[in-house]
Structure 1
Amino acid sequence: MYYINVLTKKLSSVYLLTGQILTKIIENEFLDFILESLGSMEGISWGSMFGGFVIRHYDLPFGLIFDDELYLKVNEGNLIDYKAFGSEPFSYSKQGKIINISNWRVPAEVLEDADTFVIWAKKAIQAAQDKKRGSKPPKN
C-alpha cells in the first residue's frame, strides 16, 4: 500500500489524516507489483494519470499503467523486443482517430522474470532519455 501526499499530488479518493499531513491511500496490486519489481533501481516514482499511473525515473516518464497492463517507452533500440512477443502500442481514440504512442505493452512473460523486466525497464528509460534529447539510439 502506498501513501501520497495530497499537498504535492493532485489525486482524489479516500484520505487518511496522519499527524499534520493529509494523505491519500492508493491500493493497486498491479502498481505494487511493478514498483516492487523495480525496487533494485534508484529514482523510481509514480503518479496518477487519466485513470491510470505513470512510472518515472528521476521525474522522466518511461512507463504507463492502464487496466492492469504496463506499457514501456519504445524506440528503435528496443522495439524488436516487443515485436518478438507480438506486443502492441498503447492507443487511444481522439476525435474519431486512433492514436498510437511510443509506449508498448510489456508481455506477461517479461513481467514474470524479474531480471528480464529490469533490463526492459532500463531500455525504456534509455528510450525516454533519447526522446527527451531528440536523439536516436545507436544502431546495433
Structure 2
Amino acid sequence: MVASDTYAEFLREQLSPLGRVTLRRMFGKTGVFCDGVMLGMVTENTLYFRVDDQNRETFKEAEAFPPLNYAKQGETIDLAFWRVPERLFDEPDEFIMWGRAALAAAHRVAAKRPAPKQGKAPRRRKRPS
C-alpha cells in the first residue's frame, strides 16, 4: 500500500533538512527520494530507511522489526530497508541523523550501480551529391 497524501506531506516536511524530498509510487509502495536518490520506502504509512553495512550500527534499534520484504516464488525476500521506530517522529534531531545515515547508504548503493548504457547516436544519412 502506498503512502497517504497526508503522510507523504508529513515526511517531506520532516526530511526537508536533508534536501529536496520527493515521493514516487513504485511496486505498490512509495519510494522516498532526496535529491534523486532513494533513501527510504513507505508501505501502509510506515517508513523504512535504507541500511547497509556502514550504517547498520546506527539502525541497531530497528532490528527489533522485520525489514521490508516481498514474496517471490513462494520465498520471502528481505530488502535493505529497516523500519523507522515511531518514537523518532518525536525526536526530530535523531530522526534527521537516521535520515542522513540512510541517505549516505543510498549514495553508496547508487555509486556501485553501473552507469546506464548510452544509446548509439543515430546514423547520419549522406546527402545525395
TM-score (norm 1): 0.70
Return the offset for 1:77. 2.1
Provide the residue aligned with 2:116 in structure 1. none
Provide the residue aligned with 1:92 in structure 2. 70
TM-score (norm 2): 0.76
Q: Distance in 2 between matches of 1:43 and 1:125?
A: 12
Unpaired stretches in structure 1, ≥5 consecutive residues:
1-25, 135-140
Q: Residues 82 and 88 of structure 1 are in contact (CA less than 8 Å); yes or no, is this contact kept in structure 2?
A: no
Provide the residue aligned with 2:14 in structure 1. 37
Q: Distance in 2 between matches of 1:90 and 1:27?
A: 18
Q: How many residues align?
A: 110
Q: Distance in 2 between matches of 1:106 and 1:48?
A: 19
Q: Distance in 1 between matches of 2:17 and 2:86?
A: 20
Q: How does 1:74-89 map to 2 (within 5 A)?
A: 74-85=51-62, 86-89=64-67
Give the greater-gyration-radius structure (CA): 2
Deviations 1:69-123 (A, max 9, x none): 1011001222123333423310111110000010111010122211111111111
The answer to which structure, 1 or 2, has the higher relative contact order (CA under 8 A, 6+ apart) is 2
Q: Residues 63 and 71 of structure 1 are in contact (CA less than 8 Å); yes or no, is this contact kept in structure 2?
A: yes
Q: Distance in 2 between matches of 1:120 and 1:110?
A: 9
Q: Does 1:123 align with 2:101?
A: yes
Identity %: 26
Going by fraction, where is strand more abundant, 1 or 2?
Answer: 1
Unpaired stretches in structure 2, ≥5 consecutive residues:
113-129
Q: Distance in 1 between matches of 2:105 and 2:4?
A: 29
Q: Does 1:65 align with 2:42?
A: yes
Q: Which amino acid aligns with 1:104?
A: W
Q: Does 1:106 align with 2:84?
A: yes
Q: Secondary structure at the match of 2:11?
A: helix
